[in-house]
Structure 1
């Protein structure tokens, strides 16, 4: 049985609802956990694709939120299934918010969604999940906020892609995987991210990824140190200390005071490296960054330098 209101068209099965269409003049689709008393458990095939059998504009007079207009999707923790090609060619979709209670993702659900860059994930313990499969289907680099019952982590899953390479002597095609992204995705086992294995992949990321990706990965783990062992913390900080110029450039571009504060207080231990960071911040002209850096510089180094000059 189909039902419609001003925001959704649904199909009712028992006490559950399946989202068939979403109507909105905005760019974000926020799916409720319940519609007209029915628990929302599924996203129908092609629900947010512009390729629909029955254009909803003609049926309701309202514009369907689909295709290239969709930029964000927020799913409730009641969703258990995403139908095949549900977000087909939503080319501007950038953000996903969902829980790991999703147990079934149809073929090609996110085909053509190459702009997705951020995920907000709530972990439902001890339940089967398709989170790993979702990350594998979306091969682009992802920044993931990972909410566990006892704490939060912020994670980077680097990009990966596969290509078929011909093995001429054997007359077969061999799949070759590029990037460290698949190694990171394989840290998810039975709906649980193995943080110790995730942190052990860092050397592979250093070897295979761009410096800015590696820097972002390190900062995410350090600022959200959920299940971060001391040894892993040391490896991330060691990398940041050894790449002062690139980290300074990264911080100047991001203009994030939390990142800057951590780096200054935990990783900068000599005046020469501090000056590199100050010089880079000066190029960008970010007043708040420069003010903080100069204050820290005078507190930590200016007095010592004056003392040395006086002794000479």
Structure 2
């Protein structure tokens, strides 16, 4: 067994595959962890079947322990793992690789993975946040895999090769099977306005322009207002590949729901976001007044100052009168 120091605590079982390493088993006690890019001086290129599945599992291979300080003796089962970063060198993910990682909330990875095994995300009930960094002009198929596997709302940040970011909200949809007893079969129904977003891929590749083109149809369907608000907001806040017409449609929505947007930002205590909202969408006097009062109630003095300044600029100039 080899023990090395690293940024996180890992107990690995690996095998050499040509000029790379396949991780057969990886267990951590950390809530946020990043798998190493190299093990035994070779790049990590694959995760094996059940590699990070929660619970006790065994595998035959070389043992490598990575330590960060003095690791605890308990909690080595991936059940508390919430944020996981995958290495840039990774190319393949095996079947059921993250099975039953119920606490896993966020996955950070590079868009160079060419194979995802069946059920890789099975029972990852909390997983809804992804940060996907593209490594070249050729787009991978990872995002299409996530959108197909997970019908829940997804919060996806795409980092483009030039460093620009697009943050996309894929709204939730639900697949419902209802037993039809007289006909002796199950009826399959889809509800929720998010289905078109999860399947807006062409040949498993996403064109952000196609994502933006779904907006008006989404609003025409029964949808969650808070989801629409966040979708429009993040598209404007991280606007990579956002075209002028789509930008205007999102801006119009935020302007029409200015009070709700400001309340959401005040709840998050996002002063920079509030300033961006006031610059981007011209809020109505009523929305400004309502937001200002809410900020006062919450004791957010900087937000109050921002809103008062916006009110001053929106207030019509007093007409001068000269009485003779």
TM-score tier (shorter): 0.7 to 0.9
1:156 aligns with 2:160: no
Specify every segment of 5 or more residues in structure 2 that has no aligned partner in the other structure, as ranges.
5-9, 66-71
1:246 aligns with 2:260: yes
Q: In 2, Cα distance between the equivalents of 1:146 and 1:39? A: 24
Residue pairs, 1:24-39, within 5 angstroms:
24-39=28-43
1:55–1:82 Cα change, 3 Å: closer
Q: What TM-score, normalized by structure 1, do the two folds share?
A: 0.86
Q: In 2, Cα distance between the equivalents of 1:185 and 1:121? A: 16
Q: Which residue of 2 aligns with 1:141?
A: 153
Cα deviation, residue 152, structure 1: 1.6
Q: Which residue of 2 aligns with 1:94?
A: 105
Q: Alignment partner for residue 111 of structure 1, among 103, 114, 122? A: 122
Q: Say which structure is richer in helix.
A: 1
Q: Which residue of 1 aligns with 2:26?
A: 22
Q: In 2, Cα distance between the equivalents of 1:165 and 1:212? A: 29
Aligned residue pair count: 305
Q: In 2, Cα distance between the equivalents of 1:66 and 1:48? A: 9
Q: Alignment partner for residue 74 of structure 1, among 78, 82, 85? A: 85
1:127–1:277 Cα change, 3 Å: closer
Bigger relative contact order (CA 8 A; separation at least 6): 2
Residue pairs, 1:151-300, within 5 angstroms:
151-166=164-179, 172-190=185-203, 192-206=205-219, 207-298=221-312, 300=313
Q: In 2, Cα distance between the equivalents of 1:311 and 1:216? A: 50
Residue pairs, 1:119-134, within 5 angstroms:
119-124=130-135, 125-126=137-138, 128-134=140-146
Q: What TM-score, normalized by structure 2, do the two folds share?
A: 0.83
